[in-house]
């Protein structure tokens, strides 16, 4: 296949390559009301599905070459852990391309943003090299046939900073950037000027629509010594067309994701608490008391048995903060997962909306990253609000719900380059702010941390409600075993609690019995009975006294297996006490009668259960000898008779064995003189 004609890279100011680092302002992206940005990982395994492919050719002879390209890890990569690298040899004619069909057919005027990042290293010798450049294949008249080519070269854009070796830099190739139609300064033109001169121009495929003809390509080669004997890397390509932003992250094939769950039981370490009333003190704000803590439930919590509860009463300006420093100082580009579970319930009969909005997730960011002294200062606030993400489900009252903030939309509260009150996704923010980091944003009223779960300052939507959060997950791009992965930490909020205990008790016969045990003082304990499948039968509740003791009376007719749960935790078996029994033991009576050489025995059982076997024995010089047995009738009575010798004294025993529902091994003895 014949590719585009040879071209030359402009040899601009090689001597300035190692000077000042790139000082590139973010591209002027328009913040949409509902952001459609996609973050796509391009790797050897995904590159075809992501519409990218590698090519190589000799720019003098035009013949195809075997691509000398690889994906590899790279320290300081601007997005994730790795990048794509073009390995250039000693031939000045070697040309390496990595191209995509994603933008094919796009009007050039609709390309509102284009940016990418590069690094470069001379190999033999280690001399300064030019970065990989961008190429657009163009139909200047709007047909599907290429008649022009546009090249973006960092060296033609010195206003974005001098090219530096072995350093990752980001370049804005958008409408105000300088491109070239010839590969040199003689063809230099801004993208906006080219569009003005060719209003119908569009990006086209130069190989009949095949992947090998994609209209956007990253190239190296055909540039003489400027790009020979070098390893030229690129990553983080951003392109916006017709409001759709593509953010491409180039990585080696991923390894197995890792995850760990951290149980948080106090407000120390990476989590902290604070509260503030923004309308207090004549509008200057005032400290308020904390109304938050760890609780069992509410209902069945997403993880373990508990959650972090935040209470907002009738003051709609009161705000409770639950914050973590886990992401402080980390690049926003490293985030690959962010989610949490929430619970919201309105207090019946009190002021406020019947449907309370759940806790929202707030991010504090520094859009430009650390300053020259390494300091980070918050200038951006983004709020993930479940009500803005109805595609993840409608907010429900009194129900645990999970929210995927990474896949959702954040409301812009403030931030340079963003439109207040617009909606933006995290990938979109990454695309616009490649240097952004998480800012700890400490407050004078206490608390710090770039990630906050917040309730309050929401009017009737968060007034007189009970709120809870749990199952907070933070996923970051990382390396494990030499492969890029997503490492997720999940936080499980749990109270410190005393496991209830329950005692085994026994009574003889049917009747009342008192269950008892211990828990923490002032706890409420649920007594649940085993129903053959589980502990679904609630017998009732008991409150512990000041010593932590509880009692609960029930009536039993058979053996009962029961558990004592802390209130509202049924189904979470690690909270249940050790299994305890309320045993029923048979009570038995024995009546003997004799008449005309026949003696009869009748043994009545309590509880009165049908078909219980009772053995009747008589005592001899050799001990107890079984005479026979009988089963109880519907009234629990077993009867047995035998021929007896007149005047003989019989000592008789009725022996009852255990059943599956009642303790047995009970005997009763009586004597009688036969008549």
- What confidence tens digit (pLDDT) does each residue in 365-386 have? 999 999 888 889 999 999 999 9
Q: How far apart are alpha carbons 9 and 227 in whole angstroms?
A: 9
CA 121 to mean position of chain CA atoms: 38
Best CA proximity match to 655, nearest among 610, 606, 616, 602 = 616
DSSP 140: T
Least confident residue range of 124-138, 192-206, 558-572: 558-572
Buried b (16+ CB within 10 A) or exposed e, 236-257: bbbbbbeebbbbbbbbbebeee
Q: What is the mean pLDDT of residues 417-438?
A: 94
Q: What is the mean pLDDT of residues 361-366?
A: 98
Quickly tell me which residue has 């409150």 as its tokens: 543
What end-to-end distance do the CA atoms of the chain give, in Å? 123
Q: How far apart are alpha carbons 568 and 468 in whole angstroms?
A: 15
In a domain, 234, yes or no: yes
Phi-psi region of 13 (alpha: psi -120 to 50; beta: other; left: phi over 0): left
In a domain, 173, yes or no: yes
Q: What angle do CA 110, 113, 115 make, to 5 degrees?
A: 140
pLDDT band at residue 33 using 50, 70 and 90 as cut-offs: low
Q: How far apart are alpha carbons 570 and 579 in whole angstroms?
A: 14
Query: Which pLDDT score, from 0 to 100, does residue 455 have?
Result: 96
Token readout for 9 is 């890279």
Whether residue 252 contacts residue 423, with contact meaning beta carbons closer than 8 Å, is answered with: no
3-class DSSP assignment, residue 551 = strand
Q: What is the mean pLDDT of residues 105-122?
A: 96
Same domain, 231 and 102: yes
Q: What is the mean pLDDT of residues 576-593?
A: 94
pLDDT band at residue 27 using 50, 70 and 90 as cut-offs: very low
Best CA proximity match to 412, nearest among 363, 454, 474 = 363
The count of domains in the chain is 4
Which residue segment(s) compose the domain that 369 sits in?
258-493
3-class DSSP assignment, residue 491 = strand
Same domain, 329 and 200: no
pLDDT band at residue 467 using 50, 70 and 90 as cut-offs: very high
How many residues in total does the chain contain? 675
In order of 166, 209, 300, 384, 540, the CA distances from 18 in angstroms are 9, 40, 59, 41, 77
Q: How far apart are alpha carbons 619 and 611 in whole angstroms?
A: 25
Q: Could you tell me the sign of the dihedral formed by the alpha carbons of 351, 401, 363, 296, in that order?
A: positive
In a domain, 603, yes or no: yes
pLDDT band at residue 146 using 50, 70 and 90 as cut-offs: very high
Give the number of other CB atoms < 10 A from CB of residue 281: 10
In a domain, 32, yes or no: no
Domain at 546, CATH number? 2.60.40.10
Give the end of a domain, one of 493, 522, 556: 493
Q: Is the pLDDT of residue 22 over 60?
A: no
Give the number of other CB atoms < 10 A from CB of residue 537: 14
Whether residue 127 contacts residue 142, with contact meaning beta carbons closer than 8 Å, is answered with: no
Whether residue 120 contacts residue 131, with contact meaning beta carbons closer than 8 Å, is answered with: yes
Same domain, 474 and 538: no
Same domain, 319 and 458: yes
Q: What is the mean pLDDT of residues 387-415?
A: 96
Same domain, 379 and 305: yes
In a domain, 624, yes or no: yes
Residue 154 exposure: Cα atoms within 13 Å on the Cβ side: 33
pLDDT above 70: percentage of residues in the chain: 95
Model pLDDT for residues 59-75, shown as the tens digit of each residue: 999 899 999 999 999 99
Same domain, 531 and 594: no
Same domain, 434 and 370: yes
Same domain, 460 and 570: no
Query: Which pLDDT score, from 0 to 100, does residue 410 have?
Result: 96
Comparison of pLDDT for 90 and 457, the residue scoring more: 90
pLDDT band at residue 28 using 50, 70 and 90 as cut-offs: very low
**Burial of 665: CB neighbours in 10 Å, binned 0-12, 13-18, 19+:** exposed
Q: How far apart are alpha carbons 430 and 422 in whole angstroms?
A: 16
Give the number of other CB atoms < 10 A from CB of residue 141: 13
Q: What angle do CA 462, 465, 467 make, to 5 degrees?
A: 90
Average per-residue pLDDT for the chain: 91
Q: How far apart are alpha carbons 466 and 350 in whole angstroms?
A: 12
Q: What is the mean pLDDT of residues 537-551?
A: 95
Query: Which pLDDT score, from 0 to 100, does residue 12 have?
Result: 38
Give the end of a domain, one of 565, 585, 605: 585
Token readout for 150 is 């546009």
Residue 461 dihedral angles phi and psi, to the nearest 5°: -70, -20
All residues at 6 or more sequence positions from 570 whose CB lies less than 8 Å from its CB, including other chains = 526, 528, 535, 538
Q: Is the pLDDT of residue 611 over 60?
A: yes
In a domain, 400, yes or no: yes
Query: Which pLDDT score, from 0 to 100, does residue 34 have?
Result: 61
Whether residue 666 contacts residue 589, with contact meaning beta carbons closer than 8 Å, is answered with: no
Q: Is the pLDDT of residue 620 over 60?
A: yes
3-class DSSP assignment, residue 514 = strand
Q: Where are the alpha helices (DSSP H) in 30-114?
A: none
Q: How far apart are alpha carbons 216 and 201 in whole angstroms?
A: 14
In a domain, 375, yes or no: yes
Token readout for 42 is 């391009």
Same domain, 296 and 341: yes
Q: What angle do CA 428, 429, 434 make, to 5 degrees?
A: 110
CA 606 to mean position of chain CA atoms: 57
All residues at 6 or more sequence positions from 493 whose CB lies less than 8 Å from its CB, including other chains = 264, 265, 294, 303, 306, 307, 308, 469, 470, 472
DSSP 427: H
Q: What is the mean pLDDT of residues 540-561?
A: 96
pLDDT band at residue 7 using 50, 70 and 90 as cut-offs: very low
Q: Is the pLDDT of residue 8 over 90?
A: no
Give the end of a domain, one of 493, 509, 534: 493
Token readout for 269 is 């370490």
In a domain, 12, yes or no: no
Query: Which pLDDT score, from 0 to 100, does residue 126 have?
Result: 83
Buried b (16+ CB within 10 A) or exposed e, 92-121: bbbbbbbbbbbbbebebbebbbbbbbbbbb
Query: Which pLDDT score, from 0 to 100, does residue 20 have?
Result: 24
Residue 323 exposure: Cα atoms within 13 Å on the Cβ side: 23
CA 232 to mean position of chain CA atoms: 36
Query: Which pLDDT score, from 0 to 100, does residue 63 have?
Result: 94
Same domain, 203 and 323: no
Q: How far apart are alpha carbons 3 and 58 in whole angstroms?
A: 10
Q: Is the pLDDT of residue 356 over 70?
A: yes
Whether residue 638 contacts residue 655, with contact meaning beta carbons closer than 8 Å, is answered with: no
Whether residue 468 contacts residue 494, with contact meaning beta carbons closer than 8 Å, is answered with: no
Same domain, 266 and 233: no
Same domain, 507 and 487: no
Domain at 75, CATH number? 2.60.120
Whether residue 540 contacts residue 556, with contact meaning beta carbons closer than 8 Å, is answered with: no
């Amino acid at each position: 296949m014949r590719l585009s004609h040879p071209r030359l890279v402009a040899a601009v100011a090689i001597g300035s390559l190692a000077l000042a680092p790139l000082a590139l302002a973010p591209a002027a992206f328009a913040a949409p009301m509902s952001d459609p940005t996609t973050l796509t990982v391009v790797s050897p395994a995904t590159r075809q599905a992501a519409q990218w492919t590698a090519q190589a050719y000799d720019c003098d002879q035009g013949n195809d070459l075997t691509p000398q390209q690889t994906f590899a890890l790279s320290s300081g990569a601007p997005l994730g852990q790795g990048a794509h690298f073009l390995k250039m040899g000693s031939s000045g004619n070697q040309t390496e391309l990595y191209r995509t069909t994603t933008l094919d057919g796009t009007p050039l005027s609709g390309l509102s943003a284009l940016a990418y990042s590069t690094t470069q290293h001379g190999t033999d010798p280690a001399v300064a090299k030019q970065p990989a450049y961008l190429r657009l294949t163009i139909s200047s008249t709007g047909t599907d046939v290429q008649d022009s080519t546009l090249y973006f070269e960092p060296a033609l854009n010195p206003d974005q900073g001098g090219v530096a070796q072995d350093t990752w830099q980001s370049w804005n190739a958008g409408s105000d950037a300088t491109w070239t139609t010839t590969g040199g300064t003689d063809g230099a033109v801004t993208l906006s000027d080219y569009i003005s001169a060719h209003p119908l121009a569009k990006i086209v495929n130069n190989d009949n629509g095949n992947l090998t003809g994609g209209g956007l390509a990253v190239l190296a080669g055909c540039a003489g010594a400027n790009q020979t004997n070098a390893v030229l890397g690129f990553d983080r390509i951003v392109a916006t067309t017709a409001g759709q932003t593509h953010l491409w992250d180039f990585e080696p094939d991923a390894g197995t994701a890792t995850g760990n769950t951290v149980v948080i039981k106090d407000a120390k370490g990476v989590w902290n608490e604070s509260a503030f009333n923004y309308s207090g003190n004549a509008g200057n704000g005032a400290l308020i008391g904390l109304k938050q803590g760890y609780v069992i439930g509410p209902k069945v919590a997403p993880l373990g048995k508990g959650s972090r509860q935040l209470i907002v009463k009738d003051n709609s300006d009161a705000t409770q903060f639950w914050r973590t420093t886990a992401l402080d100082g980390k690049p926003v580009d490293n985030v690959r997962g962010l989610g949490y579970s929430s619970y919201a319930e309105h207090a019946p009969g009190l002021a406020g909306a019947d449907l309370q909005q759940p806790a929202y997730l707030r991010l504090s960011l520094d859009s430009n990253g650390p300053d020259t002294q390494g300091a980070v200062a918050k200038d951006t606030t983004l709020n993930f609000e479940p009500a803005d993400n109805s595609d993840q489900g409608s907010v429900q009252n009194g129900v645990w719900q999970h929210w995927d903030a990474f896949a959702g939309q954040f409301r812009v509260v403030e931030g340079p380059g963003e439109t207040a009150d617009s909606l933006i996704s995290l990938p979109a923010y990454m695309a616009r702010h490649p240097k952004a980091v998480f800012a700890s944003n400490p407050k004078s009223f206490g608390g710090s941390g770039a990630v906050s779960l917040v309730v309050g300052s929401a009017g009737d939507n968060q007034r007189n409600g009970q709120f809870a959060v749990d199952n907070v997950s933070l996923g970051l791009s990382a390396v494990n075993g030499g492969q890029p992965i997503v490492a997720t930490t999940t936080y499980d909020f749990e109270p410190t609690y005393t496991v209830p205990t329950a005692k085994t008790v026994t009574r003889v016969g049917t009747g009342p019995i008192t269950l008892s045990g211990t828990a923490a003082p002032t706890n409420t304990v649920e007594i649940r009975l085993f129903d053959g499948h589980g502990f679904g039968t609630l017998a009732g509740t008991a409150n512990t006294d000041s010593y932590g003791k509880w009692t609960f009376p029930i009536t039993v007719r058979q053996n009962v297996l029961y558990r004592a749960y802390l209130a509202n935790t049924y189904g979470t078996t690690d909270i249940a006490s050790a299994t305890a029994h309320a045993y029923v033991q048979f009570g038995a009576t024995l009546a003997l009668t004799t008449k005309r050489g026949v003696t009869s025995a009748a043994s009545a059982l309590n509880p009165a259960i049908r078909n219980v076997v009772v053995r009747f024995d008589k005592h001899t010089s050799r001990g107890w000898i079984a005479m026979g047995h009988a089963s109880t009738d519907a009234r629990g009575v077993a009867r047995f008779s035998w021929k007896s010798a007149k005047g003989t004294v019989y000592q008789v025993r009725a022996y009852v064995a255990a059943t599956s529902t009642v303790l047995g091994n009970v005997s009763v003895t009586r004597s009688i003189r036969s008549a």
